[in-house]
Structure 1
Amino acid sequence: MTPKAFKHWRKSLNLSQKEAAAALGLKHRIVQYYEKGERDGKPIQIPKSVRLACWALSQGTQDFDGTTAARSAPPPSDGAQAAASMTS
């Protein structure tokens, strides 16, 4: 997932950086690094776990206990498209 794709994902769900951080279980600053694509002048990769969490959130999954997914309202129509276009 590129920084541009990450930002597109966040915006497609109408999330602020703070809201995206909370939904992903990250600090706000980490979301900023992912969108910028670097931290302290060095490239930063978005981990697979975060990429998968982005996809799950775009599908309406808010939590997963290993058996059952806690779901929110149906995902926005472009959320699935945004998730499908994300590459590592």
Structure 2
Amino acid sequence: MTPEAFNDWMDAMGFETREEAAAALRLSVESIKHYRSGRRGDGKPVVYPLTLALACTALFHRLPPWTVRR
């Protein structure tokens, strides 16, 4: 994932604030700030975990959390 992809996802989801994205992803507003800019607080590049990209995809497609099906 890149900052551009993350910001595109926020736009596609209709999120206007970092708080909205943070609530949807269950992350801190500070984390969303870093993902949007591509930089951590210390200026180093952000590492985008695969779990973040997968969570963004699942939310975009309105998939519910996985549950055991029997």
Q: Say if 2:28 is the partner of 1:13.
A: no
**Where in structure 2 are the equivalents of 1:9-88 lying within 5 Å?**
9-15=9-15, 16-39=17-40, 40-61=42-63, 63-67=64-68
- Partner deviation per Cα, 1:6-41 (whole Å, 9 max, x = no partner): 011011111121111111110011001001101111
- Cα offset, 1:66, TM superposition: 2.5
May I ask how many residue pairs the two structures share in their alignment? 67
Q: Structure 1 vs Structure 2: percent identity of aligned residues?
A: 39
Matched position secondary structure for 1:5: helix
Instruction: Give the Cα separation in 1 of the matches to 2:66 and 2:58.
Output: 13
**Secondary structure of 2:36's aligned partner:** helix
- The structure carrying a bigger helix percent of its residues is 2
CA distance in 2, matches of 1:19, 1:38: 20
Q: 2-side partners of 1:25 and 1:49: how far apart?
A: 12
Structure 1: gaps of 5 or more residues = 69-88
For normalisation by structure 1, the TM-score amounts to 0.70
Q: Which runs of 4+ in 1 moved over 3 A?
A: none
| Superposition RMSD in Å | 1.4
